[in-house]
């Protein structure tokens, strides 16, 4: 089955987020630790760079959590309810997430544009234009908002077509057996 474009973009951004953590955080920290051990001084501003990397990683990875339903849900009560009530609760949760994601992206854009207008730079020796890490962070939050808004829309369209399984796959909670099956398939794909 071909993965839809929004899910592919989310997966790609999650890979970028992993690269940011690996190369944007781990490598500078390793260089700094080794330099402090051998040269008694740091060579890079690893604390600053890793802070930017962490923010970018979180932003870039949020869209993927929506497409894979990896966000945390406590639904032991909802899981026992009949489908119409469960569907209403799932839809309410998805819409609440969409509102929060849109608000985050909106206010993050205000922060990025203010940094751009001010020409803000970091206070360290690197003097990094703040708009660069904030821009990466905002790209992730914007995509998160797009996915968080698109997902309940897709779910409602599936429900209107009478596709309960599609609705459940889009925004419903995965049961324990489905999560175990998914983990087993992921392990088999690695082999």
pTM of the predicted protein model: 0.81
Per-residue pLDDT of the chain (191 residues; tens, 9 = 90+): 677 888 888 888 888 888 888 887 888 889 889 999 998 888 778 888 888 888 888 888 898 888 888 777 777 777 788 989 989 999 999 999 999 999 999 999 999 999 999 999 988 888 999 999 999 999 999 999 999 999 999 999 999 999 998 898 888 876 666 667 767 776 777 66
Q: In angstroms, rounded to a whole number, what is the distance separating the alpha carbons of residues 89 and 81?
A: 10
* Helix or strand run (H / E) with residue 107: helix 83-118
| 142, two tokens | 């914007």
| Residue whose C-alpha is closest to residue 41's, from 29, 49, 32 | 32
Q: In angstroms, rounded to a whole number, what is the distance separating the alpha carbons of residues 88 and 40?
A: 60
């Amino acid at each position: 089955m071909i993965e839809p474009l929004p899910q592919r973009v989310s997966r790609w951004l999650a890979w970028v987020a992993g690269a940011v953590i690996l190369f944007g955080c781990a490598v500078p920290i390793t260089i700094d630790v080794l330099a402090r051990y051998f040269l008694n001084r740091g060579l890079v501003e690893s604390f600053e760079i890793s802070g930017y990397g962490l923010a970018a990683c979180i932003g870039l990875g949020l869209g993927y959590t929506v497409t894979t339903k990896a966000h945390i849900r406590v639904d032991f009560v909802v899981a026992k309810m009949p489908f119409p009530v469960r569907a209403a609760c799932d839809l309410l949760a998805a819409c609440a997430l969409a509102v929060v994601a849109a608000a985050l992206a909106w206010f993050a854009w205000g922060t990025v544009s203010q940094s751009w207008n001010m020409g803000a730079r970091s206070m360290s020796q690197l003097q990094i234009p703040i708009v660069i890490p904030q821009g990466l962070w905002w790209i992730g939050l914007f995509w998160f908002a797009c996915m968080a808004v698109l997902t309940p829309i897709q779910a409602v369209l599936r429900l209107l077509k009478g596709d309960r399984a599609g609705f459940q796959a889009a925004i419903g909670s995965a049961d324990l057996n489905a999560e175990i099956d998914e983990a087993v398939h992921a392990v088999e794909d690695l082999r």
